[in-house]
Structure 1
Amino acid sequence: MIMNRPMHLWIHRVMEDMQTEIACFRFASVHVITVTSSEIAREVLREKDEALADRAESYSSNLISHGYKDIIFSSYGENWKLAKKVMVTKLMSPTTLNKTLGDRTLEADNIVTYIFNLCRAGSKQATINVRDVTLTYCHAVMMRMLFGQRHFDEAAEDGGLGPKEREHMDAIYRAIDCFFSSNVSNYISCLRGWNIDGEEAEVREAVDVINRCNDPIINERMHLWRNGGGKEREEDWLDTLITLKDDQGKPVFSFDEIKAQCKNVNVASIDNTMNNVEWTIAEMLNHPEILEKAINELDIVVGKERFVQESDIPQLNYIKACSRESFRLRPANAFMPPHRAREDTTLAGYFVPKGSQVLVSRLGLGQNPKIWTEPDVFKPERHLNDYARDSRGVTLMEPHMRIAIFSTGQRGCAGTKIGTSMTIMLLARLLQGFEWTVPNGASQVELIAADTNLFMAKPLLASAKPRLAPGLYPRIQI
């Protein structure tokens, strides 16, 4: 493991050399089974779903989940089922998502105005850090829906991230990277806490930063609700978590469990949207004909007299196809979070002992030549053909597991609808609001992925120029 980092490249190279779509790697006493086949992935996430519904333990997941008190990292059981039910029926219900639509629209307005102001300062054309823009939007939306506020302390005057928000966001990304890294202590539990390769210290520091930002808000809000502080109605997800009562009228979640759920929202709401939108715009800059088709679709469906809204998303099939193609070709991480076998079972006819970890490969599915023709080529039209007869149009859901955008099954993502809305809304707003070109002096964007994760190795820089009437861009609302 240590000699073959990044490990995901080594694992895929070994599987390619073996010409197999399922393999077993033994790390110490742990069997790690990797899957690159859509058929076997469906077996993992559907047919053998309950048998493989546990999570693997690690130093990082323990810290991020506040001792496995969340829904992403905790073991399968009654507490997990309760937390998952709350997430699905309360935080992610159609009623709640409709109630928070205003928050998401507000931040969609803010992000185009933020870029507009940067362009105006640069004589109507400016070089924009696309990653910074996408992160600003994702963090602001997450903060609005979770805490009902955009900033922790003072607002940034230009509409971007303030110092504390940027520190918070950076800590979230470091925690995610540590979770997805292949730490030796993940497989040899007695080594946990010894900081063998330095990552344990990094995740401790990252989680401390997240807690320092989140905890004062959670503490103050719990005091308001549970000590008659004066709040009259639920206004955000934190209110919902605090006010939930069981049949005896007692709070459903403790302080530690609420902290864990809030960190869940932190880590689950940022990386996919940021990564997808950045890669999609990069690919479009290298394929001007694709960029032109996407803009033409926006002009036909929405026009130039108003900004695109979430209600327009069902009709934006080409833009959804572009996003879907980026998810196929450029996932945020090589593997889905590991599943752990709760009992002896089988996969593809092979014996899988209890305690084994199963990793479904996002890369292996999305770039599998048995599934996709020209798997290395960015070709959104392939998804239009797939959904030509579907009355719902193109969707980011993938029932056949040919790509892994959102997880499915028992451990499936509860936020597929909000994840889709955030991703397509941000991409559509950026394309509708601005003319994007490669910066001066460059002919193409370098499409190189990082080693630790699969983000672009360098943040995407692109020239932007407003393409709508200046009066359409609203003022920043803090």
Structure 2
Amino acid sequence: MDVITAVMLVLLLLVLAWSYVLGSNSPKHRGKLAPGPYPFPIIGNIFQLGRKPHRSLAKLSETYGPLMSLQLGSIYTVVVSSPEITKEVLQKHDHVLSGRTIGAAAQVHNHHNISMAYLPVGNQWRKIRKICKEQMFSNPRLDAGRSLRQEKLKELCDYVRECCVKGRAVDIGEAAFITSLNLMSATLYSEDFTSFNSESTTHEWREIIRGVVKTVGVPNVADFFPVLKRFDPQGITKEAEFYFGKLLEMFEDVVKQRLHSRNITSPNPPPKKNDMLEALLDLGEGSEDAFFSSNHIKHLLLDLFIAGSHTTSSTVEWAITELLLNPTKMSRAKNELRTVVGENKQVEESDISTLPYLQAVIKEILRFHPAGPLLIPHKSEADVEINGYTIPKNTQILVNVWAMGRQSNLWSSPNSFEPERFLDNKVVDFKGQYFEYIPFGSGRRICPGLPLANRMLHILVASLIQNFDWELEPGTKPEDVDTTEKFGLALHKAVPLKALPVKLTTFQP
């Protein structure tokens, strides 16, 4: 049941009772509130979100400005859609505006009280961020797992080569998902979660991760009207409990197996692995970070896998889609790989810095199809004045990254796929300093896995286009390719891209 249907079903029950509740929860006019569309009684502006909120909110902001207010049921919300105000929110007032609005789905299995994504900015959150930065995503730690990731890329190329020989189309999103899932698992704990020959296992993992992404990302009427939380009218909390539970159970098995391995002392103990899980368990045994239990590790692994596998595979699928629809840009990227890397050498992570056009392709994809179009919602912990308007305490804050990537005053030809724009503007990167372009966020809530995502995105796209020429399936014209988006925790293609690897290049790994 979608949110619109659910709202209609409960609307009659709420008309009288909620009028009082909504009035008591509305922000008090302690100052001038940001402009916005008139909120309807009880439901506010919920129906104006539509099925693609990033686009609907961008359209509304053209009328009401880059700092716009909405009433989503009982949740007072402001939407930010300019780099100047984004800088105010994520940098100048970051200490006050770094709270989180936590939906019912994220609260299952007590996830919100353990997850780095939802914890308030405090001592526990800082410790986990520090662990991620120093022990998981530092360059030395990532370099240590480079050979494992290279092995996963070879498996991808072997699979696509097999499809090429058999004349079989490749589901780009699924192939990227399997590879990114195994890249993550190889980096985190030196094992594979699935393989190209394990269709049932792959399907199970994809369904579970999609389930988590869907339940967290879909608008939930129980979040708009907390009085309905206990009734779960859309069944979202029930679904979330199932999918989160399945993932946590799997990660619990992983942690238990590693702990068992670490405790074997004779006669031939297995060699200690040099991966992130080992580093986390070492920290958990230390006195300073003893708070970091196996339970914390499970929830951290859940966060990392959801953020890493789904968003990475979606971004790779968009990249191959846009390159197929723009053959001259595909040709330029392939020629750069042939020239710089060579025809008889597999592209490696160390090559990324020498491939400016490939870098431009990835930057452009993250502008054109940002994985998190509205980022994870922030929440104000106190009243703040921005641009002459008051943002009251407990306001939900949405940063419309997608809208800023499509504004003509910031980008030339914003609705066209033009990697070349980043060759002319080399100072722009996605590390949170250029507020017109923050696909990974900015400030203290910036995505901690950015260093790993940076490597994975470049090397995945490079491996696919270096080793193979690609064509659309027979009978499919470029104008027939469906580029419809499906909104959720990540913005992915509604219709999967299937493409034919029609000819091997002269490269043979």
Q: TM-score under structure 1 normalisation?
A: 0.90
411, 414, 428: which is aligned to 2:445? 411
How has the CA–CA distance of structure 1 residues 250 and 283 changed in structure 2, closer, same or farther, with 3 Å as cutoff? closer
TM-score normalised by the chain length of structure 2: 0.84
Label 1:248 to 1:289 Cα distance change in 2 as closer, same or farther (>3 A). Answer: closer
Report the 3-state secondary structure (helix = DSSP H, G, I; strand = E; otherwise coil) of the residue aligned with 2:444: coil
Residues 1:162 and 1:356: Cα distance change in structure 2 (over 3 Å): same
Task: State the alpha-carbon separation in 2 of the partners of residues 246 and 218 from structure 1.
Answer: 14
Greater alpha carbon shift after TM alignment, 377-386 vs 241-250: 241-250
Shift of 1:208: 2.2
Alignment of 1:165-244 (within 5 A): 165-225=202-262, 230=269, 233-244=272-283
Answer yes or no: is 1:112 the counterpart of 2:174: no
Q: Does structure 2 conserve the Cα–Cα contact (< 8 Å) formed by 1:320 and 1:395?
A: no
Task: State the distance in 2 between where 1:162 and 1:448 align.
Answer: 26
SS of the equivalent of 2:445 reads coil
- Which structure would you say has the larger Rg? 2
**In 2: Cα distance, 1:101 partner to 1:366 partner:** 32
Q: Give yes or no for the alignment of 1:11 onto 2:57.
A: yes
Structure 2: state its 5+ residue gaps: 5-46
Whether the 8 Å contact between 1:108 and 1:426 is mirrored in structure 2 is yes
Cα deviations by residue, 1:382-410 (Å, 9 ceiling, x for unpaired)? 111111xx5xxx74435212122212211
Q: CA deviation at 1:450?
A: 2.3
Conserved 8 A contact 1:225-1:243: no
Query: How is 1:368-383 mapped onto 2 (pairs within 5 angstroms)?
Result: 368-383=407-422
Alignment match of 1:77 (pick from 112, 118, 122): 122
Q: What is residue 476 of structure 1 aligned with on the other side? A: none
Residue 102 of structure 1, CA deviation? 1.2
SS in 2 for 1:397: coil
Q: Is the 8 A contact 1:32 1:357 kept in 2?
A: yes
1:350 pairs with one of 376, 384, 389: 389
Aligned pairs for 1:36-47 (under 5 A) are 36-47=81-92
2:504 paired residue among 467, 473, 478:
467
* 1:55–1:73 CA contact under 8 A, matched in 2: yes
1:318 equivalent to 2:354? Answer no
Amino acid at match of 1:80: W
- Once the two structures are overlaid, the 10-residue window that deviates more, 36-45 or 341-350, is 341-350
Q: Which one-letter code corresponds to 2:304 in the other structure?
A: V
1:266 aligned to 297, 305, 317, which one? 305
Please say if residues 41 and 401 of structure 1, whose CA atoms lie closer than 8 Å, have aligned partners that are also in contact: yes
Give the 4+ runs in structure 1 shifted more than 4 A: 226-232
Q: For residues 261 and 229 of structure 2, what CA distance do their matches in structure 1 show?
A: 38
Alpha-carbon spacing, 1:97–1:197, altered in 2? closer, same or farther (3 Å): same
CA–CA distance in 2 between the matches of 1:399 and 1:468? 39
- Alignment partner for residue 80 of structure 2, among 35, 42, 50? 35
Quick one: distance in 2 between partners of 1:118 and 1:25? 49
The higher-RCO structure (CA 8 Å, 6+ apart) is 1
Closer, same or farther: CA 194–232 of 1 in aligned 2, 3 Å: farther
Between stretches 306-315 and 316-325, larger displacement belongs to: 316-325
Q: Could you say what secondary structure the match of 1:66 adopts?
A: helix
1:263, distance to aligned residue in structure 2 (A): 0.6
Distance 1:249 1:349 in 2: 44
Residue 268 of structure 1: SS of its match in structure 2? Answer: helix
Contact 1:448 1:457 in 2 (8 A): yes
Query: What does residue 449 of structure 1 align with?
Result: 485
Distance 1:134 1:398, change over 3 A: same
Secondary structure of the 2:381 match is: coil
- Is residue 304–residue 449 contact of structure 2 (8 Å, CA) maintained in 1? no
Pair 1:24-2:60 in alignment: no
Provide the C-alpha distance between the structure 2 equivalents of 1:287 and 1:305, rounded to a whole number of angstroms. 26
Label 1:308 to 1:396 Cα distance change in 2 as closer, same or farther (>3 A): farther
Match for residue 102 of structure 1?
Answer: 147
Distance 1:466 1:193, change over 3 A: farther
Q: Aligned AA for 2:482?
A: E
Structure-1 residue corresponding to 2:182 = 140
In the alignment, which residue of structure 2 is the partner of 1:58? 103
Q: How many residues align?
A: 458
Per the alignment, do residues 354 and 282 of structure 1 end up closer, same or farther by CA in structure 2, a change over 3 Å counting? Answer: same
Same amino acid, percent of matched pairs: 24
**Aligned 8 A contact 1:66 1:256 in 2:** no
Task: Name structure 1 gaps, 5 residues minimum.
Answer: 474-478
User: Helix, strand or coil for the counterpart of 1:410?
Assistant: helix
Output the amino acid matched with 2:505: L
